[in-house]
Chain A
């Protein structure tokens, strides 16, 4: 029966077949598999679909719900957009890894029990690491290793938590909980590591910009948003998430403002945007959870679009830093236009998807009378326009004339960008299309004259602030220290110091040992050393050649001694 095919299996099969096929057949698989996955996703009814027993636990690899279908849908759409963007430029192994990575995200979406959930979760960690490595440079390899260590660590913490919960409750069901004891805290921490929450947010901005121009498009979509889905399913209304989310929102803006690398600016703004969602999950009302889900959906599209636009620039020019770029609108008008649409969408400009989804989160904060949260989110919306909405397109496509005159993006990259731009506008102009699929019924009017006017004032005056403060934002050839300094430098120093201490102890011991050996050598040498003098007279007592008679005498003495000892 067709409805029993788990959607993740289709993408896994595609990942394998991508490696085995060539030419048009591979293209057909790359573009066809995500569409097939979409069909499979929409055939899954609500509730647990399949179940079997494993080690005495009830495993539910497929459980449907509107929320799960929504996330799986955007993951499959993302695989299609990413595949279209990448299939002519990326290596086959990068495409295969990216599809396996997407399969992990779809698998997590439908996981009805914590064991299946964990397996797909680690599946994602594994294949996303490979996508980072496909960057191909030595810094990509190093960043990939740091990325893998962080995610394996997060996986272990999550595993500890899951085991604790399973032991204390006896059930492996995925169901809402609160961080009240050790096990639930471990699960929450494990999930938050993947959401790039503090204090380990740095893994994201460290790894994603090191991937290939096509790889970072895939990376931008899955890991953090699966974490948001997991938080909605496991920790709705967990108050600590409000604080964590607000921190991420501000952190993303400040670091993006300091950044010079175009893709790293976008990476920081992922953390900023995921902060909005994490905060919404913390608020936990139906409106807030709808907002988190809708914003994740819209975010995947416009963030991938921004990474596509940056990727096309890097693909054509080989450069990714604001200080090297500028003036590209002349020869890359389509890439610039799509980049600007993505930038407007992330800023939540009216008529784009960001406006119709992000304002739901603000509305939820206002409904709960969370004054500080509401105003911080409003300030952050202004900040997003500042750091991503204007800064990214301005420094890449306008600013000064860098003298670069690259061709516009290849046709498949352009097609993917146009498709995602249209989706940004579609959700912005007809928000009901998305609202119909949200987990809870929506009674929210995105477009009210007063609200639109408020956001227009907020955003346009942020724009004014940007251009007036431009002298303060001159790009420099720098990076910004983050908490990863602790393990990339301090831990390295500690390790070096450890090696040094070991080496010193070793050399002290070595000197001692070699002195002792020398002494021993001296003593033994007196008896055994066959050192020859100039007159060939031999030195060591036992090293001298003896006559046969003397040897026979000594053997007789030894045998007599032996017999005496034996009989006594």
Chain B
């Protein structure tokens, strides 16, 4: 372990972050596989499918981030936008 790594907080060391990713992926896999044992009783059929919650959660977030990004091109302005709009006259 280099000196620089020692100075860093243990939580932000690259080794820890790699480990956290591994644990996270293991938990993700577990929540999906658990559905083999624990039945998810969907209200509308489709939401009881295997891994539906996972796919639905991931895809809705993907869509929301992409839509937000797209809207950002139209809606984002510099922080001082309103000050400039009202003061330069």
> Interface on A for B, CB 8 Å cutoff?
253-254, 257-258, 327, 329-330, 366, 371, 374-375, 378-379, 382-383, 386, 401, 448-451, 453-466, 469, 472-473, 476-482, 488-489, 492, 496
Contacts and interface: CB of A to CB of B under 8 A. Distances in A.
**Which among A366, A453, A477, A489 has the highest number of chain B CB atoms within 10 Å?**
A453
Nearest to B86: A492
A489 B77 CA distance: 13
Given A253-B68, A453-B35, 16 more contacts: A257-B64, A258-B68, A258-B75, A366-B43, A366-B44, A383-B61, A401-B12, A448-B41, A450-B39, A455-B53, A461-B58, A462-B57, A480-B77, A481-B74, A488-B85, A489-B86
B56 A472 contact: no
29 contacts: A379-B56, A379-B60, A382-B60, A383-B61, A401-B12, A449-B38, A450-B38, A450-B41, A454-B40, A454-B47, A454-B53, A455-B53, A456-B53, A458-B54, A458-B57, A461-B57, A461-B61, A464-B24, A466-B61, A469-B61, A469-B65, A479-B77, A480-B72, A480-B75, A481-B74, A481-B75, A481-B77, A488-B85, A492-B85
A382 B56 contact: yes
B79 A465 contact: no
B40 A383 contact: no
**Which among B12, B65, B75, B78 has the highest number of chain A CB atoms within 10 Å?**
B65
Interface of B: 9, 11-12, 24, 27-28, 31-32, 34-35, 38-44, 47, 51-58, 60-62, 64-69, 71-72, 74-79, 81-82, 85-86, 89
Contacts of A378: 47, 56, 60
**Which among A330, A481, A496 has the highest number of chain B CB atoms within 10 Å?**
A481
A320 to B, nearest CB: 12
B55 A461 contact: yes
Nearest to A329: B11
Contacts of A457: 31-32, 35, 51-54, 57
Contact of A450 (B9, B40, B69): B40
A260 to B, nearest CB: 8
Contacts of A477: 78-79
Contacts of B39: 450
Contacts of B64: 253-254, 257, 379, 383, 386
B38 A254 contact: no
Nearest to B8: A401
A475 B11 CA distance: 22
Nearest to B62: A465
Contact of A453 (B24, B40, B43, B85): B40
A481 B81 CA distance: 9
A544 B78 CA distance: 71
Contact of B68 (A257, A464, A465): A257
Nearest to A458: B57
A455 B47 CA distance: 11
Nearest to A139: B83
B44 A453 contact: no
A472 B63 CA distance: 12
A327 B71 CA distance: 29
- Which 10 interchain pairs have the tightest Cβ spacing? A457-B53, A465-B61, A379-B60, A458-B57, A366-B43, A257-B68, A461-B57, A457-B54, A461-B58, A382-B57
